[in-house]
Structure 1
Amino acid sequence: MADNPLSNLLDQRPVTGLHFRVSLADMAGAASMLAGGVAGTKFSKVSGLKVYASINEESISKSDGPETFIEDIRYDDIILERGLTSDPTPFMLWCMQVFSEFARSKGATSGAAATGSLAGNMKGWSGMTSVVKNLVITLMNEKSIPLIAWGIKDAVPISWDVSPLDAMTNSYVTETIKLRHKGFEILPIPGADMI
Structure 2
Amino acid sequence: MEIYYPPVGFHFKVDFKNLSTKDKDISFQSVSGLTVDLETEEIAEGGENRFKHKIPVRSKFPNLVLKRGMLMDSEVIKWCKKALENFEIEPVDINVMLLDENHEALQTWNIVKAYPIKWSVGDFNAEENKLVIETIELTYQYFNIV
Deviations 1:54-104 (A, max 9, x none): 212222333595322012221010000001133x222111101212331xx
1:56 maps to: 41
Shift of 1:13: 4.0
Name the SS for the 1:91 alignment partner. Answer: helix
2:78 maps to: 93
1:16 maps to: 8
Instruction: Identify unmatched segments of 5+ residues in structure 2.
Output: none
2:57 maps to: 71
**What do you get for the CA RMSD once the two structures are aligned?**
2.3
Larger radius of gyration: 1
Aligned match for 1:41, one of 3, 26, 51 = 26
Name the SS for the 2:45 alignment partner. Answer: strand
TM-score computed with the length of structure 2 as normaliser: 0.85
Name the SS for the 1:61 alignment partner. Answer: coil
Q: Distance in 2 between matches of 1:66 and 1:13?
A: 42
Q: Do 1:157 and 1:179's aligned partners in 2 also have CA atoms closer than 8 Å?
A: yes
2:140 maps to: 181
Instruction: Indicate whether 1:134 and 2:96 are aligned.
Output: no
Name the SS for the 2:81 alignment partner. Answer: helix
Bigger share in strand: 2
Name the SS for the 1:95 alignment partner. Answer: helix
Shift of 1:12: 6.0
TM-score computed with the length of structure 1 as normaliser: 0.65
Q: Distance in 2 between matches of 1:96 and 1:65?
A: 50
Q: Distance in 1 between matches of 2:84 and 2:120?
A: 12
Shift of 1:136: 0.6
**Number of aligned residues:** 140
Bigger share in helix: 1
Q: Distance in 2 between matches of 1:25 and 1:169?
A: 36
1:190 maps to: none
